[in-house]
Amino acid sequence: TAQAAAGASHHHTVTVAHRGASAYAPENTLAAVDAADDLGIDWVENDVQRTRDGELIIMHDTTLNRTTDVEEVFPDRAPWKISDFTLDEIEKLDAGSWFGSKFAGEPVPTLEEYLDRVSDNHQKLLMEIKAPELYPGIERQALRELRREGWLDRKHLRRLIVQSFSADSVQAVHKLRRDVKTGFLGTPPVADLPRYAEFADQINPSHTTIDAAYVEEIQAVRGAHGRPLEVYTWTVNDAPNAVKVARMGVDGIITNKPDVVREALDDV
Ligand code: G3P
Ligand code: CA
């Protein structure tokens, strides 16, 4: 079975800090990148979106109000969409206080600032293009920034995966830069896997939607670069579920608590 094979082969499962180590620091901030680094976690996940004046920033929601103090700073700007605010305005916001007073003043990072920090920490990046339907052309723009920062240099390519819930967006990235590793977020039917494999190297489903047979079906298909499709599953925040998906043979676990997952993996 997949379970026995995974155990017998000491299959290595990658641990990815979801929005950074977001159980311990405010999600998608540089503090969350550093929190992962402090735990010795080398992969971080983030979400990229675009401001009104065309700058790429890191945030999960398409609105600013859950993870910043925007309602206080700009009370008359509901519903506080990222795409309605300039970078200058977003830089006035506090993206840390909602999480804890010790993070007061933590800014919303630009993609450039975020890439710099991940590089400085010698970490690796699973970058999600979030809600690309709101930001036409964001794939080309994000790749341009990655290239400018050196992330598309041949020796650095293995430190990067670009993923999205939008198949069109993943396909766009693959067409623009064939050498970039890509992931599709979702749980496609097995019959559709070969179609996704034309432009993706990973299929990344919610852990609530998978079993060992499904993981095995995915890994039986060759991805865009000719290697077996990988499975990075999300968002697994406790040891029993980490052990469960590791035994299914997943290649990666995306988690808010990377320390808990890494420790659980010792028992698999
Ligand atoms: O990386 C997987 C996960 O981030 C997908 O869901 O909503 O947290 O972006 P979400
Ligand atoms: Ca995400």
Q: What is the pLDDT of residues 47-67, one digit of tens each?
A: 999 999 999 999 999 999 999
> In this model, does residue 1 exceed pLDDT 70?
no
For residue 127, name the pLDDT band (cuts at 50, 70, 90).
very high
195 neighbors 202 (Cβ within 8 angstroms):
no
What is the per-residue pLDDT for 6? 46
Distance of CA 145 to the CA centre of its chain: 17
Averaged over 201-214, what is the pLDDT? 98
For residue 77, is it within any domain? no
Go through the chain and tell me how many residues it has.
268
Residue 4 above 50 pLDDT? no
Tokens of 254: 């995306």
CA distance from start to end of the chain: 15
Query: Domain with 171 in it: what CATH number?
Result: 3.20.20.190
Predicted TM-score (pTM) of this structure:
0.95
Domain that holds residue 245: 2-62+109-265
Measure the CA–CA gap between 87 and 246, rounded to whole angstroms: 40
pLDDT for 3 beyond 90: no
Mean pLDDT, residues 3-12 taken together: 53
> Is residue 137 situated within a structural domain?
yes
Indicate if ligand 1 lies below 6 Å from the C-beta of 234.
yes
- Give the lowest-confidence range in 1-5, 165-169, 176-180, 206-210: 1-5
φ and ψ of 104, to 5 deg: -55, 135
Q: What six digits make up the tokens of 187? A: 């749980």
Residue 47 CA, ligand 2 centroid: distance in Å: 5
The CA-atom distances, in angstroms, between 114 and each of 54, 93, 136 are 17, 16, 22
Q: What is the pLDDT of residues 70-89, one digit of tens each?
A: 999 999 999 999 999 999 99
Amino acid at 37: D
User: In this model, does residue 228 exceed pLDDT 80?
Assistant: yes
- Confidence at residue 9, expressed as pLDDT on a 0 to 100 scale: 44
Q: Give the chain's domain count.
A: 1
Q: CA-to-CA distance for 99 and 52, rounded, in angstroms? A: 26
3 state SS of 226: coil
Q: Is residue 74 part of a domain?
A: no
What is the model's pLDDT at position 267? Answer: 85
Q: Are the C-beta atoms of residues 268 and 10 closer than 8 Å to each other?
A: no
For residue 103, is it within any domain?
no
Q: 115-124 as b/e, with b when 16 or more CB fall inside 10 Å?
A: bebbbebebb
Domain-located, residue 233: yes
Sign of the dihedral through C-alpha 188, 192, 198, 202: positive
Within-domain flag for 231: yes
Instruction: Kindly name the residue from 10, 11, 12, 18 that is annotated as catalytic.
Output: 18
Q: Say if 104 falls within a structural domain.
A: no
- 232 within ligand 1 shell (Cβ under 6 A): no
How confident is residue 159, by pLDDT bands cut at 50, 70 and 90?
Answer: very high
**Cα of 28 from ligand 2 centre, angstroms:** 9
**Residue 108: in which H helix or E strand, if any?**
none
The chain-wide mean pLDDT, for the chain, equals 96
The answer, yes or no, to whether any atom of ligand 1 lies below 6 A from the CB of 74, is: no
Dist. CA 21–CA 257, nearest whole Å: 6
